[in-house]
């Protein structure tokens, strides 16, 4: 039986959604992905996820995209236990905003940890100012994340070293 992954996205411009869909399509032979927007997602659906991959952009001065704000606030308020959840986060941001780079993804990560979920791989950040190869590196990261969950490795693929994640000052 294929591993089931809930892949949620919060996007302002559509890039986080495109990355979520690209990951799900590229790894469809290794796991069953349910790709959904956080805009209409119910809190109970989010909290029920057992294998969760979150892709979130960052908006403004480190804010969440509008489509994720309602769900994030509900989760923060209700604090459902997610102790049975394993997760990973791909965050998008602009490194020219040094103090708030990738905060959309960082905020989802912090919330999931607070709710008791277990992080399987470190946060992966995509810089809006970066090179075109970042999407391919995000896919490589997702392959490693999936392998860490226990899914078989993708045949013939060798993961690249993970880039060092930046931390806020």
- pLDDT tens per residue across span 52-66: 999 999 998 889 999
| Mean pLDDT within 79-97 | 95
Q: Give domain 3-149's CATH superfamily.
A: Flavodoxin domain (3.40.50.360)
pLDDT of residue 150: 84
Which residue ranges make up each domain of the chain?
A: 3-149
Long-range contacts made by residues 38-41, C-beta under 8 angstroms, separation at least 24? 38/8, 38/9, 38/10, 38/67, 38/68, 38/71, 38/72, 39/10, 39/67, 39/68, 39/70, 41/8, 41/71
pLDDT over 90 percentage in the chain = 76
| Separation of CA 52 from chain center | 8
pLDDT band at 30; cut points 50, 70, 90: very high
Please state the rounded mean pLDDT for residues 116-135.
89
The CA distance from 111 to 106, in Å, is 9
Tokens coding 91 = 């965050």
């Amino acid at each position: 039986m294929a591993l089931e992954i809930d892949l949620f996205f919060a996007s302002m411009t559509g890039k986080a959604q495109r990355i979520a869909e690209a990951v799900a399509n590229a790894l469809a032979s290794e796991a069953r992905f349910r790709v959904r927007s956080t805009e209409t997602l119910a809190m109970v659906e989010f909290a029920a996820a057992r294998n969760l991959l979150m892709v979130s952009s960052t908006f403004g001065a480190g804010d969440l995209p509008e489509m994720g704000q309602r769900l994030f606030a509900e989760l923060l308020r209700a604090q459902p236990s997610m102790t049975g959840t394993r997760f990973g986060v791909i965050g998008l941001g602009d490194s020219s905003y040094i103090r708030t780079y990738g905060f959309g993804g960082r905020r989802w990560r912090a919330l999931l940890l607070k709710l008791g979920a277990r992080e399987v791989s470190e946060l992966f950040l995509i810089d809006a100012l970066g090179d075109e190869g970042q999407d391919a590196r995000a896919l490589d990261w997702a392959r490693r994340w999936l392998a860490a969950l226990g899914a078989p490795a993708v045949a013939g693929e060798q993961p690249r070293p993970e880039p060092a994640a930046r931390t806020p000052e």
